[in-house]
Structure 1
Amino acid sequence: MNLIQALLIGLFAYLGAKRTPWFFGVTGGWNMIGRPLVAGLICGIILGDVKNGVIAGAMVQALFIGQITPGGAMPADVNWAAYIGIPLALAAGGSGEEAVALAVPLSMLGLGMFNFIMTINAYFPHWGDKAAAANNSRGVQMATYCAAIPSFILRFGSAALICYLGTPVTEALLNNLPAIVLHFFEVAGKMLPAIGFAMLLKQSLTQNWMIVLFLMGWVLIGSTTMSVTALAIFAIGIAFIFVMAKGKPQVVTNVQSAAVEEDDCYEE
């Protein structure tokens, strides 16, 4: 990986990080560019390996598909997993299994980076409050824009530096690992995404009987030649039929009797 490629990956890592306001805010940044599936495509284009980039992105996305980030709380930092784990694996000649294996520890290290950035940024709201108390609108604007500087330096700098300097280390590591360790990465790369889907199912299945719907889909995709897209359309149809059959809950209200009682109270 050359320096230009590392800088481009670092730039997209910053744009897709949590609390980055520039690319349509959280919607375009964290919820789009920051997703491993999109990051895999971007890293694949930059590194000239789109196919393996998308495959690696899909596998890493499956690992974190059930993760939610309420407020500022994050169980793991997907940004480092996506924009460091995926390009390092691709540049070192690895595949999706190696990307998943790198994504897990990197997501934990990235969480420490996120908390450090939030600690630094805690200063800027106080700066803005003091400026607002002094009727200094310029100071409020400066506090808002300056709050993005620590995130840019740390996000952009860390991703670019690790990708540029870490590629030879990762490549040497993968080339010299024993076959049994590489096989472990392959097995772990297929098992860890199952954890992500399990987390998603735990959030989605509000009632125990809904597991039957999941089992029906699993049987169809495993025992037939149906594609995932066809299964998704079929599932949408089943969901539509279920919602229409269930109907809307009817709220019984007796408006007329309530009005009569109210009028009776004021007859005198």
Structure 2
Amino acid sequence: MTVVQALLIGLFAYLGSKRTPWFFGVAGGWNMLGRPLVAGLIVGLILGDVRNGVIAGAMVQALFIGQITPGGALPSDVNWAAYIGIPLALAAGGTGEQAVALSVPLSMLGLGLFNFIMTINSCFAHMGDKAAQAGDGAGIHRATYLAAVPSLILRGGSAMILCYVGTPLAEMLINNMPAIALHFFEVAGKMLPAVGFAMLLKQSLSKKWMIALFLMGWILIGSTSMSVTALAIFATAVALIFVMAQGDTRAAASSAAVTPVQSEEDDCYEE
């Protein structure tokens, strides 16, 4: 990996990190550039291996697909997992399985870096409060933009250095690793995304019987030649029918509950 490639990866790692004000804020940064699937495409373009980059990004994305950030709290740092794990695996000649295996410890280490950056940025919040008390609008803007500097230095700089310095080490480990260890990473890389889907199902299924819908989709994909796009359209139609039927049932139940009251009022009026 060249210095320019590592620098570009570090730049996109910064733009895709949380609390970065550029590129449409959180919407364009953390929720778009920061997603492993998008990061895999970007890293693939930078390293000249788009196909494997997208595959690795999709596998890492599947691992973290069920992750939520309640109140801004991060259970793990997807940014480090995407912009360090994927390029290290690709540059070292690894596959998506190796990218997934690297992303797990990197996401934990990145979480510590995120908390450290937020601790530093608390100083700029106090700076903005003092400027607001003094009626200094320019001071508020200054504090807001200065808060992006620690993230640029620590987030972008760490991704750049680890990608550039860590590539030879990752390549040496992959080339000299025993076959059983490589097989372990391959198996783990295929199992870990299942954990992400399990987390997503736990959040999405409000009732236990809804697991039948998931099984129906899994059977259709496995036993037919139906594409994912066709299955998504079919699932949308089923969901629409389900919602409409549920709405009609509730409306009928509501009408049934109102009717006896109205008849009772009419009887009272006749008396």
Q: Structures share a fold, TM > 0.5?
A: yes
Q: How many residues align?
A: 255
Distance 2:233 2:130 in 1: 55
Alpha-carbon distance, 1:229 to partner = 1.4
Distance 1:135 1:18 in 2: 29
Counterpart of 1:23 in 2: which secondary structure?
Answer: coil
Which amino acid is 1:63 matched to? Answer: L
Which amino acid is 2:105 matched to? Answer: P
Alpha-carbon distance, 1:144 to partner = 0.8
Which amino acid is 2:45 matched to? Answer: I
Residues 66-145 of structure 1 aligned to structure 2 (within 5 Å): 66-145=66-145
Structure 1 runs, 4 residues or longer, greater than 2 Å off: 248-254
Distance 1:72 1:246 in 2: 34
6-15 or 69-78, larger mean C-alpha shift? 69-78
Partner of 2:195: 195
Partner of 2:26: 26
Partner of 1:265: none
Distance 2:21 2:137 in 1: 20
Which amino acid is 2:172 matched to? Answer: A
Alpha-carbon distance, 1:230 to partner = 1.2
Distance 2:100 2:197 in 1: 14
Residues 1-268 of structure 1 aligned to structure 2 (within 5 Å): 1-247=1-247, 249-250=250-251
Distance 2:190 2:229 in 1: 21
Counterpart of 1:219 in 2: which secondary structure?
Answer: helix
Distance 1:223 1:132 in 2: 63
Which amino acid is 2:227 matched to? Answer: S
Q: Which runs of 5+ in 1 are unaligned?
A: 258-268
Alpha-carbon distance, 1:71 to partner = 2.3
Alpha-carbon distance, 1:72 to partner = 2.4
Counterpart of 1:203 in 2: which secondary structure?
Answer: helix
Alpha-carbon distance, 1:200 to partner = 0.1
Counterpart of 1:93 in 2: which secondary structure?
Answer: coil
Distance 1:7 1:70 in 2: 32
Which amino acid is 1:178 matched to? Answer: P
Distance 2:192 2:199 in 1: 11
Alpha-carbon distance, 1:222 to partner = 1.0
TM-score (normalizing by structure 1): 0.92
Counterpart of 1:71 in 2: which secondary structure?
Answer: helix
Which amino acid is 1:5 matched to? Answer: Q
Counterpart of 2:117 in 1: which secondary structure?
Answer: helix
155-164 or 222-231, larger mean C-alpha shift? 222-231
215-224 or 43-52, larger mean C-alpha shift? 215-224
Counterpart of 1:20 in 2: which secondary structure?
Answer: coil
Q: Which runs of 5+ in 2 are unaligned?
A: 262-271
Distance 1:216 1:137 in 2: 57
TM-score (normalizing by structure 2): 0.91
Distance 1:145 1:112 in 2: 23
Alpha-carbon distance, 1:141 to partner = 1.3
